[in-house]
Amino acid sequence: MRLALFAATALSLALAVGAQAKPGPATPEQVAEAALRAAPVFDGHNDVPEQLRDRRKDVLGDFDFTDTSGTADPAKGVAAMQTDLKRMRKGHVGAQFWSVYVSANLPEPQAVQATLEQIDLTKRLVARYPADLQLCTDSACIEAAWKKGRIASLMGMEGGHSIGGSLGVLRQMHALGARYMTLTHFKNTAWADSATDAPVHDGLTPFGKDVVREMQRLGILVDLAHVSEKTMLDTLAIAGAPVIVSHSNAYALNPHPRNVTDRALDAIKANGGIVMVNFYPPYVLDAARLWGAERDAVEARFKALNRGDPEKAKAALADWDKANPMPRGSVKDVADHLDYIARRIGADHVGLGGDLDGIEVAVTGLEDAATYPALFVELARRGWSQQDLQKLASGNLIRVLKASEAYTAAHAGDPPLESPTTF
């Protein structure tokens, strides 16, 4: 009896100790940290190359990408850059699509040259930091870079003007390492309608559809950021491989023309693609979109009232800006877009495309490349699982990239699409 009592007491004690030793539920911070350690951020759109073109005319010289926090020039109204190696490491960024964007206002032959220069610049920047950055063109390279502790660096063209209406130029951009192309920027091309220009093609022209087909044959991801809804739907109707939307948000939460409608979201799900959310307040926050419209009207009024004196009009607008700052929103507003998209089409179809260094200001709490973890903590608070956070971080974009590679491999025997030259 004594032995039985002793055994029962010992068992009770062991159970009590075990209960005390059992860890409690993971905190949102712990869930976010675990997800980011397992799957580093693969961001779909960063404009550091544009900053280097605007600030330094593509001359790296003594530029130090280790820490760019001191690059502000208040006298010229230039803010500090939002990205550097130090902050990318802090933000758990493990892969980045660097945008080799050039202005859509350039004549197309100049746009082609400028894009070549931006590809060259990006390669020179990556080569300068071999311990931190690794140039990649496929998913296998990305995964190899992670094993070496390096940030995989890929290149995406932003706007079809970068190929000058030529499938031959498109093929050469692929040969140089470009792995996505946004079909338009803020203006229409001769073959695709933009979201922020008056439509002239009703989406894609026949040549535009050939551009999409040739991109997918080559293994260049089709990017539907910046394009009209009809261009999105035309593309998705013919796409054989998943597409991306590299830096846009949900139209249902903020009806900016740059955002993705429910109809397009549903088609992206059927295609297997992903929407990568943007951190720019006018795309995130309806109040910021409305502020922008009001500012445009105020600017037009000041110019009309001060004809012949543009400096006075500029000073008046600067005073208005000080008195009427843009509503910036917060991490929670970006999380709302991710929640909406994930609820509508699934957590397999979301990603991140912060647009850092392509925007003058980001939402509060996501100001630079160090701040991604704050968004993951917010999503973990809302009940996102570690698995879904890992998909958001990089799993979904890696899946899309591998699907694109598989499609290209399956069509390796297809001949290049041909089109006549125009001059």
Catalytic residues, by residue number, are: 45, 47, 158, 185, 226, 247, 355
Closest Cα partner for 261 from 344, 354, 375, 330? 344
Helix, strand, or coil (residue 31): helix
CB-neighbour burial class of residue 55 (10 A; exposed 0-12, middle 13-18, buried 19+): middle
The C-alpha angle 179, 151, 80, rounded to 5 degrees, equals: 95
Nearest residue to 179 via CA among 287, 99, 81:
99
CA atoms within 13 A on the CB side of 58: 14
Residue whose pair of structure tokens reads 């300068």 in the numeric block: 128
* 3-state DSSP assignment of residue 59: coil
CB 78 within 8 A of CB 130: no
Amino acid identity of residue 82, one-letter, is Q
Q: Residue 18 class from Cβ within 10 Å (0-12 exposed, 13-18 middle, 19+ buried)? A: exposed
Closest of 334, 280, 373 to residue 88, by C-alpha: 373
351 touches 244 (CB < 8 A): yes
Coil/strand/helix, residue 361? coil
Q: Which of 104, 126, 110 is nearest to 48 (CA)?
A: 126
Instruction: Tell me the angle at which helices 396-410 and 206-218 cross, rounded to the nearest 10 degrees.
Output: 100
Q: What does residue 46 show for φ and ψ, rounded to 5 degrees?
A: -140, 135
User: Would you state the torsion angle of the CA atoms of residues 330, 332, 338, 340, taken in this order, to the nearest 10 degrees?
Assistant: -120
Q: What is the CA radius of gyration of the chain?
A: 24
The H or E element spanning position 352 is strand 350-352
Alpha-carbon span 139 to 219, nearest angstrom: 12
| Residue 249 · residue 216 · CB < 8 Å | no
The answer to whether 179 and 189 are in contact (CB under 8 A) is no
